[in-house]
Amino acid sequence: MEGKEEDVRLGANKYSERQPIGTAAQGSEDKDYKEPPPAPLFEPGELKSWSFYRAGIAEFMATFLFLYVTILTVMGYSGATSKCASVGIQGIGVVKGFQQGLYMGNGGGANVVAPGYTKGSGLGAEIIGTFVLVYTVFSATDAKRNARDSHVPILAPLPIGFAVFLVHLATIPITGTGINPARSLGAAIIYNREHAWSDHWIFWVGPFIGAALAAVYHQVVIRAIPFKTKS
């Protein structure tokens, strides 16, 4: 009994009764994760690094494949007499990419607001879709989440890819799914028809607003960074 009482007394002296909680705890120094350092917009020294060019090549290939698959998907949806049958069209998407008539006839996969929807509906779809994607990226790559849930073997590309998949399911019928100005701009330049440019502003304004809202939500609401106490 005396040994147990001694353990209790030592424990009470070792740990204070009032422990920081919430945002106060986040500001303490004994964190089990590291915040990534702020990265400069551009460093001239990067031009001498092979890693810089590797990253550029990787971004080029990823964007190329993403646009190629997306354009074929939107073309398949536009050309389907039954929208439920559009999933089956994906298998012959590669053939469509080499047929000029089908490309022009199905709108070239360019982002436009579909008939029956207003520009406001298209803008809202782009804002919400981009918000979902960007917030998923922030959450999946967050250093604090990785440290807290390190026992859960989740790779960041899985939830990010699933978010892209869900957003496309929801917004292809409305706008053809932009959520990325590079995707919208590339398709509009290659297709280059008047109706592809008339709604083009939506696919810049929407993603920028959605991404900004996701960043504010993640930093202020989820991470509460502006409210952390300085120790």
DSSP-derived secondary structure for 3-16:
HHHHHHHHHHHHS-
Other Cβ atoms closer than 10 A to 32: 8
Range ranked top by mean pLDDT from 8-12, 37-41, 88-92, 164-168: 164-168
* Distance, CA of 222 to CA of 2 (rounded, Å): 46
Query: Is 42 within the bounds of a domain?
Result: no
DSSP state of 199: T
* Distance, CA of 82 to CA of 214 (rounded, Å): 35
DSSP state of 218: I
Query: Is 120 within the bounds of a domain?
Result: yes
Identify the band that residue 60 occupies on the pLDDT scale cut at 50, 70 and 90: confident
Looking at the structure, tell me whether residues 80 and 183 fall in a common domain.
no
* Distance, CA of 53 to CA of 25 (rounded, Å): 41
pLDDT at 142: 80
pLDDT at 100: 65
Query: Is 55 within the bounds of a domain?
Result: no
Tell me which amino acid residue 216 is.
V
pLDDT at 171: 92
Residue with tokens 């029956």: 116
pLDDT at 84: 39
Determine the average pLDDT of the residues in 107-124.
89
Structural domain containing residue 93: 64-109
pLDDT digits (tens, 9 = 90+) for 170-190: 998 899 889 989 888 888 887
pLDDT at 44: 80
Identify the band that residue 224 occupies on the pLDDT scale cut at 50, 70 and 90: confident
| φ and ψ of 81, to 5 deg | -70, -35
171 contact partners, CB below 8 Å, separation of at least 6: 125, 126, 129, 177, 179
pLDDT at 79: 56
Query: Is 32 within the bounds of a domain?
Result: no
Tell me which amino acid residue 164 is.
V
Query: Is 199 within the bounds of a domain?
Result: yes
CA-to-CA separations, 178 to 59, 191, 223, in angstroms, rounded: 18, 15, 28
% of the chain beyond a pLDDT of 70: 61
Looking at the structure, tell me whether residues 219 and 187 fall in a common domain.
yes
pLDDT at 125 over 90: yes
Looking at the structure, tell me whether residues 123 and 181 fall in a common domain.
yes
| φ and ψ of 167, to 5 deg | -65, -40
Q: Among the listed ranges 18-27, 149-158, 192-201, which one has the minimum average pLDDT value? A: 18-27
pLDDT at 57 over 80: yes
pLDDT at 65 over 90: no
Last residue of a domain, one of 82, 109, 136: 109
Sign of CA dihedral 84, 85, 90, 95: negative
CB 203 within 8 A of CB 111: yes
Closest CA to 128 of 160, 159, 73, 171: 171
Other Cβ atoms closer than 10 A to 123: 20
Residue with tokens 């890819």: 161
CATH number of the domain that 210 lies in?
1.20.1080.10
Looking at the structure, tell me whether residues 94 and 134 fall in a common domain.
no
* Distance, CA of 112 to CA of 173 (rounded, Å): 10
The count of structural domains within the chain is: 2
pLDDT at 118: 94
Q: Among the listed ranges 20-34, 61-75, 126-140, 186-200, which one has the minimum average pLDDT value? A: 20-34
Q: Among the listed ranges 97-101, 172-176, 214-218, which one has the minimum average pLDDT value? A: 97-101
